[in-house]
Amino acid sequence: MLKSISLQNFRSYKKAEFNFSGGTTIVIGPNTSGKTNFIEAIFLLSTGKSFRTDKDTQMISFREDLARVKARVGDPSANSGQVTELEVIITNGQIGGKTSQYKKFLVNGVSKRRVDFAENLTAVLFSPEDLEIIVDSPSLRRKFLDSVLEQVDREYRLAVSAYTKALRQRNALLENARETGVRNEKQFEYWDNLVIENGELITKKREEFINFVNNEAKDIFDFVAFYDKSVISKQRLLQYKEAEVASGVTLVGPHRDDFSVSMFNPSTSSGQATTHDIKFYGSRGQQRLTILQLKMLELLFVEKKLGQRPVLILDDIFSELDEGHIKLILEMINLQQTIITTTHKEFIPANVLNKMQVLHFSKEQQKTG
């Protein structure tokens, strides 16, 4: 459970500290009052990354050199005072004229690698962007798969990190081969092995999650997921060898993965139930229900893997959903610590709101906390 968080020179925050009661915390504030910045800080403590930028330095307040986010996390059941301190420091690479590390992770003051830092605080985030998972481009669906698996699996985090680096190197070699017309086989061997080894592991774990999704009961909306994997292997790389040199990029592997979801239609006269891709045939409402179901399965997956519920974070999603959808979400907020942001408290029924810890954000207050 997240007990407190403090922000220093993080996005719009100069200095601020917040304590959480446990249960559900709701942040109410107008647009640009720093709600998503606040959520981004929690997500950073959970995963070591931002969910909205690949450029970490964007999280440092304008005109500052260093951002610091700290949190205290602890077991909600134990009143033993067992508390872990998490800290992320981001710099622009220069502190007082000296070069500094861009990103630093600390657990109880001890420096850690990102792969080991993540998992001290697990959180499942639901943001408006997620509502586009089904209809948007494959990259958003891959991002979804990564965010689920990186939460629970150190091996997966290591594989993604190694794969990304190896892919970059391999693409540079391919680009070079494209320009010169010569492919230096010796140079390729090392990177080929790395992308194959790590790529295979990523594929396997993604497949496990898709299977989990298909095997679990779905009481909100029933669908079946199809993993459209881009298999990487020695043989496949051989097969695409010439095309890769022609294009200058790696053409197969999990960076080209996708998945689709299909709903079941009532049996036809032949007695055969048919499935239809929700992206193309689902109504907006059915697409939303599918996302809600998918997010709940994500929570369940994390719980199954780690043996405890992650913190649920809902960033400004109520304005995007209708009453029925909101009701479905409110039914699950009591199952774990939940942090909600919203512009209008009216989205939440008064008797539900009564039981929540309320934080009011304003455009001015965030500067000082």
Binding footprint of ligand ADP on the chain (CB under 6 A): 11-12, 29, 31-37, 58, 60-62
Nearer of residues 49 and 170 to ligand ADP, judged by Cβ: 49
Hunting for tokens 């939460």 — which residue is that?
151
Among 1-9, 104-112, 298-306, 311-319, the segment contacting Mg ion (CB under 5 A): 311-319
Q: Which of 36, 250, 260, 337 binds Mg ion (CB under 5 A)?
A: 36
Across the chain, the runs of DSSP E, i.e. the strands, are 2-10, 13-19, 24-28, 66-74, 83-91, 94-95, 98-99, 103-107, 110-112, 123-126, 223-228, 258-265, 274-277, 311-315, 338-342, 357-360
Q: How far is the CB of 7 from ligand ADP (least distance, A)?
A: 11
Which stretch, 36-44, 177-185, 262-270, 343-351, contacts Mg ion (CB under 5 A)? Answer: 36-44
Nearer to ligand ADP, 147 or 343 (CB): 343
From the list Mg ion, ligand ADP, none, pick the one residue 82 interacts with, judged by a Cβ distance below 5 to 8 Å according to partner type: none
Whether residue 265 contacts residue 273, with contact meaning beta carbons closer than 8 Å, is answered with: yes
Q: Minimum CB separation from ligand ADP for residue 342, in Å?
A: 10
Radius of gyration of the chain (CA): 22
d(CA 325, CA 305): 27
> Nearer Cβ to ligand ADP, position 93 or 285?
93
Decide which of ligand ADP, Mg ion, none touches 254; Cβ closer than 5 to 8 Å per partner kind. Answer: none
Contact between 33 and Mg ion per CB under 5 A: no
Answer for the pair 278, 261: CB distance below 8 angstroms, yes or no. Answer: yes
Under DSSP, is residue 188 helix (H, G, I), strand (E, B) or coil?
helix
- Least distance from Mg ion to the Cβ atom of residue 316, Å: 5
DSSP-derived letter for residue 150 is H
Distances (CA, A) of 5 to 21, 60, 93, 181, 353: 12, 16, 24, 54, 22
Question: What is the smallest separation between the CB atom of 29 and ligand ADP, expressed in angstroms?
Answer: 6
Nearer to ligand ADP, 15 or 165 (CB): 15
Q: Residue 42 half-sphere exposure, CB side, CA atoms within 13 Å? A: 31
**Residue 192's binding partner, choosing from Mg ion, ligand ADP, none, with beta-carbon cut-off 5 to 8 A by kind?**
none
* Cβ-based nearer residue to Mg ion, 188 or 347: 347
- Of 6 and 260, which CB lies nearer to ligand ADP in the complex structure? 6
Q: How far apart are CA 29 and CA 359, in angstroms?
A: 8
In angstroms, what is the minimal distance from the CB of 363 to ligand ADP?
8
* Sign of the alpha-carbon torsion through 288, 229, 298, 225: positive
Are 281 and 263 in contact by the 8 Å Cβ rule? The answer is: yes
Which phi and psi (to 5°) does residue 268 adopt? -85, 180
> Least CB distance from residue 25 to Mg ion, whole Å?
16
- Cβ at position 260, least distance to ligand ADP in Å: 31
When CB distances are held under 5 to 8 angstroms depending on the partner's kind, the choice from Mg ion, ligand ADP, none that residue 6 binds is none
Q: Rule CB under 5 A: which residues touch Mg ion? A: 35-36, 316
